Amino acid sequence: MKARTMTIALALLAIAMLLAGALPMGCDDSSTQEYRIGIVTPSLSASEDEFRGAQKVSDKYPDMIKHIVLPDNFSEELETAITQITSLGDEEDIKAIIICAGYDGILTAIQRVKEKRPDMVVITAPIWDDPDLMAQYIDLCLDTNWEKRGVTIPTKAQQMGAETFIHYSFPTHLSHESISKRRDMMKQTCQTLGMTFVEVLTPDPQATGDYPAMLQFLGEDIPRQIARYGADTCVFGTNCPMQDVIIAQALELKFIMAEQCCPTPTQGFPAAMGLEISEEDAGDFDQINDMIRQKAAEAGMTGRLSTWPIPVGVFFPEFSTEVAIGMIEGDIDRESISLEQLEPIAEEVAGVRVTFDPMKEEIDNYYLVIIDSIIY
């Protein structure tokens, strides 16, 4: 009996020694660092792209992501939203918070989190509080370079064959500084490139509430403009409801649509092309882009339609998550963020090159992005 007990003990000792040899000295399998990342977005109904982007990341890292959905009526429930965000800082295993919301007023929550958890990685993509204050509390701030598109869209249009650029908008929209600045940059870029710039004002739906009148005007005026300037014309509209009409008219009249006001395969194309996108394919942009490419070819419009391959709202949550992982695990220096590290991650997520420009020269952690285009 003693011999048998001794044999078992020796066997157990041998197994223990083998296991010990398989692990680094001073470590055991229980010391592996486990952590989670909180992602904050509006609801599906309030902002579909950001919500689906967070869900995509949740599917990719199912045990890592905690997805928080902000109240639909954000402005009236700001305190609830702040409480939701600060509560993430109370969970010790959450090492990063990513906020993809497009709201202002959120910085207060971030300040509270950082007071308790200065080690917390925080990435916003985007929020719209004061940039100088944001840069003090947030590890990486991201937004779209909306104004630079005043250069990139006409430039792309010319590369696609456009000789004329038509800009449709209305007074209420143009009262927004970013939209009027982009319009001015488009005009200047067209002049530099030797393109004709045409500005057309539609009935103002935001002043009258009469969107059908604007869309009717657009449907009647675009054929007049194409008859005058020819099919080598790019049509751009500053308002989301315009895109269905513009793309439908492009399929019929064969002019160029270089980019929508919000560049994404899911704006204008599905309605104008009659695409049937199932719920399971709603976030599959490779599939959606293939569907658009096929419809463009069938309409004889190959090379005449373009947009970004994925919505920036879908890009930001996934890109920010990969950057946060790099920061948590020490592969990205939080104190000196390098574009040489960010750019390859962005290209891997977007499938195309992504350009980063500093929001201000004196701020080194706030970047505005442009995603390269796909031409169908």
Write down the pLDDT at residue 70: 97
- Report the share of the chain in percent with pLDDT over 70: 91
The first and second tokens of residue 63, run together, are: 């045990």
For residue 160, which phi and psi values (nearest 5 degrees)? Answer: -85, -5
Please provide the CATH number assigned to the domain covering 149-307. Answer: 3.40.50.11390
pTM: 0.88
The yes-or-no verdict on residue 29 having pLDDT over 80 is no
Write down the pLDDT at residue 33: 55
Write down the pLDDT at residue 282: 85
- Selecting from 3.40.47.10, 3.40.1410.10, 3.40.50.11400, 3.30.200.20, what CATH number does the domain 34-145+313-371 have? 3.40.50.11400
| C-alpha distances in Å from residue 160, one per residue of 135, 165, 231, 263, 271 | 38, 12, 12, 16, 23
Q: Could you tell me the pLDDT band of residue 68, with boundaries at 50, 70 and 90?
A: very high
3-class SS of residue 22: helix
Mind listing the pLDDT tens digit for each residue in 168-180? Answer: 999 999 999 999 9
The yes-or-no verdict on residue 19 having pLDDT over 50 is no
Write down the pLDDT at residue 280: 84
End-to-end CA distance of the chain: 80
DSSP letter (8 states) at residue 77: G
Mind listing the pLDDT tens digit for each residue in 254-285? Answer: 999 999 999 999 999 999 999 999 988 888 99
Type of residue found at 133 = L
Q: Where are the domains of the chain?
A: 34-145+313-371, 149-307
Q: Could you tell me the pLDDT band of residue 23, with boundaries at 50, 70 and 90?
A: very low
The yes-or-no verdict on residue 13 having pLDDT over 70 is no
Write down the pLDDT at residue 283: 84
Mean pLDDT of 200-221: 95
Taking the C-alpha atoms of residue 84 and residue 40, their distance in angstroms, rounded to an integer, is 9
Mind listing the pLDDT tens digit for each residue in 362-374? Answer: 999 999 999 999 9
Write down the pLDDT at residue 22: 41
* Residue bearing the bigger pLDDT, 246 or 6: 246
Write down the pLDDT at residue 1: 41
Mean pLDDT, all residues of the chain: 92
Same fold, 34-145+313-371 and 149-307: yes
Mean pLDDT of 30-50: 86
The yes-or-no verdict on residue 12 having pLDDT over 70 is no
Write down the pLDDT at residue 5: 39
